[in-house]
Amino acid sequence: MNNNFYKAFEDRHRGSRELIKSRLKFYLPFLDKLKDIKDEQILALDIGCGRGEWLELLKENNIKSKGIDQDKDMLEASKELNLDVELGDGIKYLVLQEPSSLDIISAFHVVEHISFEELKILVKEAFRVLKPAGLLILETPNCENIFVSSYSFYLDPTHTKPIPSELLSFITEFAGFTQNKTVRLQEPEYIKQKEFVSLSEVITSVSPDYAIIAQKPATKEELEKFNSLFKADYGLSLSQITKKFNDKSLNIDYEINSIKNILDTLNNKLNDSEKKTTQAQEQILSLLNSHSWKITAPLRAFKNFLTWFKTGFLSWITFAPGSRPRRVLKKIIKSLIIFVDTNKLIKKVLINSAKFLKIYGFLRRFYNKLKDKDIASNAISEKYPLKFEDLSSLAKEIYKDIDIKK
């Protein structure tokens, strides 16, 4: 495409140079293992090198590399970094290379742009050109991710069709690579920690990219160096995330069943309580209607009288709160206080006597306490004046009865 269209498109939708470079660091452990078994300079070819993020990373890790791309605008960024790049068709360039001449062949987000026949040629020629234990890295969008396969894949007008990881893995195996690994990439980190996921997370959170890392046959000792990397699990598959979603559904069903069991238990207890209540009511009615209950009625009445008399008598002699002697005494004391307050001479004599007898402090506190209660009572009456029409019907009847007695 002309006028820098594809470069501008990549900058916006694939991500910044710094972001892509940080993601590509994932492959460095594979390169380190390759360095461990190689004495000579490691050589790499990157097909569809674009802006050169991978070439720059290889250079930083002392790996000699060359990049091929058909978009001259994309290559400008690589040239600015003095990277070894060339304008051309990467597959045609690969066909011209000598057998067993390279250690690494990579194609990041290339295979989704080419035909199936071209893809088979790419893998076949990579197998021929790679040295023993050499690595082929093919990264592409992951159509396992529902959002990718149904929407974002088609944002790029140069994409042909998505390639399932099982197909790409089989192509490398069929070409003769001794081992290959599907590595899923760029999934949200927080999803791995979640026990359950939502439906929207099922649609969007499977690893949006994947890569097939295939290795050419070599000695047993050389291949064993890579065992830990090829046996590890990477990323998040659709089956893994749907299991999290199904587990959530099963957990909800379990909770619903638990709540149902609790409700059933409560309902049974309620039914038992109703039965016991009914039985108790029947027993009470039977008791009330019995001859013995009627015969003992005078005794119960006399018992109630004795209880009332005992309580009332104790209240009288102990001046219990609310008893009539206490109310009368409080009324007398209040009258005396008012009388003393209005007669200064008597008040002065009483104060001097109290001071002499050393009971002035006690009488003063008692006086202030009674006075404060009167003030609070008057304040409440003034703040919330009670009107006859605001009274309830029962209160009105009581008020009329008191008024008549007065």
pLDDT at residue 49, rounded to an integer: 94
pLDDT at residue 326, rounded to an integer: 66
pLDDT at residue 343, rounded to an integer: 81
pLDDT at residue 379, rounded to an integer: 45
pLDDT in tens, the chain (406 residues): 456 776 677 667 677 888 999 999 999 999 999 999 998 999 999 999 999 999 999 999 999 999 999 988 889 889 999 999 999 999 999 999 999 999 999 999 999 999 999 999 999 999 999 999 999 999 999 999 999 999 999 988 889 999 999 999 999 999 999 999 999 999 988 888 888 888 888 898 899 999 999 999 999 999 999 999 999 999 999 988 888 888 866 666 656 666 676 777 777 777 888 888 888 777 777 766 777 766 777 777 767 766 766 666 666 666 566 666 667 667 777 777 777 778 878 777 777 877 777 777 777 777 777 666 655 455 444 544 556 666 667 666 666 666 655 5
Question: CB atoms < 10 A from the CB of 27, how many?
Answer: 23
CA gap 9, 157 in Å, rounded: 10
Report DSSP letters for 9-30, one per residue: HHHHHT--HHHHHHHHGGGHHH
Bridge partners of 181, per DSSP, are: 213
Judging by DSSP bridges, how do beta strands 209-215 and 179-185 pair with one another? antiparallel
CA gap 100, 340 in Å, rounded: 125
| CA 25 remoteness from chain centre | 30
pLDDT at residue 334, rounded to an integer: 73
Separation in Å, CA 349 to CA 340, 369, 388: 10, 22, 45
Q: Compute, in degrees rounded to 10, the torsion defined by CA atoms 224, 168, 148, 13.
A: 80
Separation in Å, CA 371 to CA 48, 51, 337, 347, 375: 99, 94, 9, 16, 6
